[in-house]
Amino acid sequence: MSALLEVDGLSVELPVAGEYRTVLQDVSFSLDAGQTLGLVGESGSGKSMTVRSIAQLLPPGARTSGSITFDGASVLDLRGDALRKFRSRDVSMIFQDPRAHTNPVRRIGDFLTEAMRVNGRVPRREAERRAVELLAEVGIHDGERRLRQYPHELSGGLLQRVMIAASLAVKPRLILADEPTTALDVTTQSEVMAILARLQREYGMAMLFITHDLELAAAVCDETVVMYAGAMVEHQASSRLHTDPLHPYSAALMQARPEIERRVPRLPAIPGHPTSAFETPDGCAFAPRCRFAEDACRAALPAFERVGDGEYSRCRRAEELRGQLLVPAVVSHEEVVR
């Protein structure tokens, strides 16, 4: 059986001030029905661009190479009705900031029933009844009242549930969730994740789940891809990521996070700041911040290579360093740089 979604060698360039800038480089992964794949990385690493490429929602003028296959069809070649059907029925997107994706002067009810009434030609009363059912599915039990409310009358968590309800109306086969819980507090995040997990189980939907929170990805995704500067640097089972990272960046990210169980005298911060693909020097993009960097790392971009069964890394020292990445540095690189 072939995968539901297959992304192969995807690269994207965007025009900025008259010149093309690489924002994604050689991204490849596949996703089966019912599976959740996590995409993790800091800002500018290309997570949203990956999702927008799949949904064919790239900014105008974008140049794409590589392929994206959904259920056997080439997404990059979809046009007209086929593209509309793909966007409106096969995939749904959930965004970080639900408020930016609703119209402040339109009621929740209009927002939820519009697609049904326009695309599905469902009569108003019937569409509203279905909307109330959808709201119940995401844990909102006073749906009739909510339909008459405006977005500003709902908290961020409630509004995100409404967005999820809307994206489920068509029972998509793939959910593209771009940091859906980043703006929520932890208790609300937990509730929203529970809803997504249940619906996914019930409908067998595949989900591409974007987050910058490695712990969250590890907890809810089957596999996780770590991105840095527009490229994938690691891909493996989420359950192993925390104990056996395969790339110095993933390890450094985990170490830089404070822990709820203990306080450390000093956090092992990563020196410098995250960069975008077009700002990176030749060679390994992470080299300027990597405590394991050697001269050879700066010579050529390391290949994204298999390190073991279902395990991939874009580090030329991956095999040699395996098992040592989480060992604390004796002198933190940060102090050396300063």
Partner 1 sequence: MSSTAGRRADARTDSERTTAAPGGVPILAVDGLRKTFGRGRKEAVAVDGVSFELAAGGSLGIVGESGSGKTTTARMLIGLEQPTAGRIVLDGADHTRPARRIRDLRARGRLIQIVFQDPYTSLDRRQKIGDCLGEVVRLHFGLSGSALDARVRELGELVGLHDRQLRALPRELSGGQRQRVAIARALAAEPKILILDEAVSALDVSIQAQILNLLADIREQRGVSYVFISHDLAVIRQITDTAIVMRHGRVVEQGQTADVLDSPQDPYTRLLRDSVPHAGWRPGADALVTS
Give the footprint of ligand ADP on this chain (CB under 6 A).
Answer: 14, 16, 23, 41, 43-49, 59, 276
Nearer to ligand ADP, 70 or 228 (CB): 228
Nearer to ligand SF4, 46 or 248 (CB): 248
Q: How far is the CB of 285 from Mg ion (least distance, A)?
A: 18
Nearer to ligand ADP, 128 or 223 (CB): 223
The correct pick among 22, 25, 36, 48 for binding Mg ion (CB under 5 A) is: 48
Residues 48, 54, 57, 59, CA torsion sign: positive
Residue 218 near partner 1 by CB under 8 A: yes
**Triad 44, 33, 212: Cα angle to 5°:** 20
The correct pick among 284, 304, 312, 332 for binding ligand SF4 (CB under 6 A) is: 284
Q: How far is the CB of 1 from ligand ADP (least distance, A)?
A: 30
Residue 250 near Mg ion by CB under 5 A: no
Could you tell which of ligand SF4, ligand ADP, Mg ion, none binds residue 209, using a CB distance below 5 to 8 A set by kind?
A: none
Residue 287 near ligand SF4 by CB under 6 A: yes
**Triad 155, 107, 173: Cα angle to 5°:** 80
Q: How far is the CB of 24 from ligand ADP (least distance, A)?
A: 7
Nearer to ligand SF4, 128 or 234 (CB): 234
Q: How far is the CB of 306 from partner 1 (least distance, A)?
A: 26
Range 243-262, binding ligand SF4 (CB under 6 A): 248
Range 276-295, binding partner 1 (CB under 8 A): 289
Range 150-179, binding partner 1 (CB under 8 A): 155-157
Nearer to ligand ADP, 12 or 112 (CB): 12
Q: Which stretch binds Mg ion (CB under 5 A): 40-48, 76-84, 156-164, 312-320?
A: 40-48
Q: How far is the CB of 276 from partner 1 (least distance, A)?
A: 11
Q: For the chain, give the secondary structure using H, E and C.
A: CCCCEEEEEEEEEEEECCEEEEEEEEEEEEECCCCEEEEECCCCCCHHHHHHHHCCCCCCCCEEEEEEEECCEEHHHCCHHHHHHHHHHHEEEECCCHHHHCCCCCCHHHHHHHHHHHHCCCCHHHHHHHHHHHHHHCCCCCHHHHHCCCHHHCCHHHHHHHHHHHHHCCCCCEEEEECCCCCCCHHHHHHHHHHHHHHHHHHCCEEEEEECCHHHHHHHCCEEEEEECCEEEEEEEHHHHCCCCCCHHHHHHHHHCCCCCCCCCCCCCCCCCCCCHHHCCCCCCCHHHCCCCCHHHHCCCCCCEEEECCEEECCCCHHHHCCCCCCCCCCCHHHHHC
Residue 41 near ligand SF4 by CB under 6 A: no
Q: Which stretch binds partner 1 (CB under 8 A): 28-36, 107-115, 251-259, 295-303?
A: 251-259
Strands 223-228 and 36-40, by their bridges, are parallel
Interacting residue ranges for partner 1, rule: CB under 8 A: 42-43, 155-157, 184-195, 197, 212-216, 218-220, 242, 252-253, 256-264, 266-271, 273-274, 289, 334, 338
